[in-house]
Amino acid sequence: MAHFGFGTYRISEHNPLHVEALQEAIKSGITLIDTSTNYMDGEAQRAIAKAMATLSDEEIANVEIVSKVGYIQGSTLARHRENSFEEVVEYSENCYHSISQSFIKDQISVSLERLGVESIDCLLLHNPEYYMLDGVKRGMDKEDRIDGMYQRIFDAFLTLEEEVRAGRIKSYGISSNSFSKSQKDEEYLPYEPLLSFAADAAKELRNKKHSFTSIELPINLLEQEGLECAEWAKKNGLRVLANRPLNAQKDMKMFRLADYEEPREYYYYLNELLELTDNKLLMPLFNLASQLDESKHKFGWIGEYDIFLFSQIVPQVRKFIEPLDDENRATLIDMIDKFLQEYGKMVAHECSRNTRRELADEFEDCPVSLQHCALKFLLENENIDYVLIGARKRAYIADITSLGADLLKD
């Protein structure tokens, strides 16, 4: 049976709840933490250091940190614009990518400092297929794209073997969304030669054996293409980490495979906010709250709401409250914050109801929660070693460990 690992995609050192969730996870027996140099622009790695600093040597003795390298974003992108990294692929205005020797070495140094450790247990190349995506965009022949991708990976493996010998990392691997694509997909990366690349890299550096140990890829109840790659990996002695266990895609639509209860206090805070803003000065906020209530069932999935919250709602609220005096602004901010917390829960509830309806066939034999069935599917797969879950509150860690215990009983 697979184990749970802690994913830190949206974890920040500045949020005490996130740090507490990490601490609770380790205390609850989770021994693998997955992170990356670009997660929250480094805040995730610093949060790990912050959490582990408060725990005893005994509690963290068996904790393994898996980090990733590849993305050039945020402060790293600012550095790139000042002093260019090598072999960089530009994906978008705010997202570049590289797995060049100099960039890998730079990011290992940055990660060691942020994490406060002398060695990273496992370092993964993070979605190296950006090179292939760029080739598709530029009209490059498929065979040339794959050959170029293989050369980049081999060169990266040489660097990683050097870093293992230097003691800055203990092992390495690849985290790739392409491993979960069908062979006909333009983004598919054939993975069979990877072990040969690792062996050749180790031989070239005269290392006794290669240190290529792990792969990470998306696998969930709706997206099972990656199971073929997972089976290949296990047959060849590699460890398999499954990410996105609950955020699944089907027919070009995203679903959160989890049930959420209807929040009991939603309508209380909605009515409180409407009453507080029912005047000429605050009518824009009154209208905003009313419109949000009417639209709570219209989000495709909870991730869509998260984007809408920060791109649309928050800027509007800031604009509306800016003219207020400090006292009234503080009162209103407190009420809006409470309402939005409950609103997020209500959106999650509505999304889970929609998911139940749209995926009725997939969950026909699921008498318990969506997340129970979705995680059970992964945990019981013999070719998966770790299922990576994201948790930003201690309570969710308790839910996950309880679920794991229930599945062991089953």
Per-10-residue mean pLDDT, the chain, length 410: 93 94 94 97 97 95 97 96 94 94 98 98 97 91 94 98 98 97 90 98 96 98 97 98 96 94 97 95 94 95 92 92 85 94 97 95 92 94 96 82 69
Joined together, the tokens standing for residue 243 give 């990410």
Residues forming beta bridges with residue 53, ordered by sequence position:
none
- The rounded distance, in Å, linking the Cα atoms of 304 and 149 is 32
Residue 324 has a pLDDT of 85
Minimal CA–CA distance to 34: which of 47, 15, 50, 16?
A: 47
pLDDT at 323: 86
Q: Which of 372, 332, 125 is nearest to 246 (CA)?
A: 372
CB burial of residue 100 (10 Å; 0-12, 13-18, 19+): middle
Nearest CA to 213 out of 188, 192, 195 is that of: 195
Distance CA 192, CA 153 (A): 13
Give the pLDDT score at 325: 85
What is the token pair recorded at 23? 């601490």
Domain boundaries, the chain: 3-257+368-409, 266-358
SS3 2: coil
**Residue 217 φ/ψ region, left for φ over 0, alpha for ψ in the -120 to 50 degree band, beta for the rest:** beta
Distance CA 339, CA 350 (A): 16
> Using the 8-state DSSP alphabet, how is residue 313 labeled?
I
Predicted model pTM: 0.92
Q: How far is CA 197 from CA 142, 160, 200, in A?
A: 20, 12, 5
Residue among 32, 14, 26 nearest 56 (CA): 26
Fold of 3-257+368-409: TIM Barrel (3.20.20)
> What is the distance, to the nearest Å, from the Cα of residue 256 to the centroid of all Cα atoms in its chain?
14
Type of residue numbered 10: R
DSSP-based helix, strand, coil % in the chain, nearest 5? 55, 15, 35
Long-range CB contacts (within 8 A, 24+) of 340-345: 340/309, 340/313, 342/263, 342/265, 342/266, 342/269, 342/270, 343/266, 343/270, 343/292, 343/296, 344/305, 344/309, 345/260, 345/263, 345/266
Distance CA 361, CA 228 (A): 23
